[in-house]
């Protein structure tokens, strides 16, 4: 059983469209992170959310942590080809070793010009 369920698994859109991807679980987390991974590279941290209901914005990206700290969403406004990549959510569960992360399978996003 996967701890984190990310959806959709694949998403292909045109430049300028908006999109939302999701990260869901039945467990509660102390914090949640979103990463973007480009082909041939390691994941790069986009944001860390720690408070239930928290909303963070990073340019055209809006991240929300669910009130119950079990889920999160990432919304991209006016997507650009440079947003193409694998979007991974990762959590540090309560009781887990310090700093250890569990990753979802990711959403593979393709933005066509």
Residues at the site binding other proteins, with contacts judged by CB under 8 A: 4, 31, 33, 40-45, 48, 88, 90, 97-106
CB 80 within 8 A of CB 111: yes
| 43/85 with CB nearer other proteins | 43
CB of 32 to other proteins, least distance (A): 11
Distance, CA of 26 to CA of 82 (rounded, Å): 32
CB of 113 to other proteins, least distance (A): 25
| 80/100 with CB nearer other proteins | 100
CB of 104 to other proteins, least distance (A): 5
- Residue 89 burial by Cβ neighbours in a 10 Å radius (0-12, 13-18, 19+): buried
Q: Which residues have C-beta within 8 Å of that of residue 28, sequence separation ≥ 6? A: 68, 69, 70, 94
Distance, CA of 37 to CA of 54 (rounded, Å): 23
| 19/102 with CB nearer other proteins | 102
CB of 60 to other proteins, least distance (A): 21
| 17/38 with CB nearer other proteins | 38
Distance, CA of 34 to CA of 11 (rounded, Å): 17
């Amino acid at each position: 059983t996967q701890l984190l369920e990310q959806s959709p698994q694949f998403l292909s859109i045109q430049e300028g469209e908006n999109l939302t991807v999701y990260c869901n679980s039945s467990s509660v987390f102390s914090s949640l992170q979103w990463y973007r991974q480009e082909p041939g590279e390691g994941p790069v941290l986009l944001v860390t959310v720690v408070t239930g209901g928290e909303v963070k914005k990073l340019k055209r990206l809006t991240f929300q942590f669910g009130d119950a700290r079990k889920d999160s969403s990432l919304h991209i406004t006016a997507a650009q080809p440079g947003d193409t990549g694998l979007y991974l959510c990762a959590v540090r569960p309560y009781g887990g070793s310090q700093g250890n992360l569990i990753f979802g399978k990711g959403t593979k996003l393709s933005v066509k010009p």
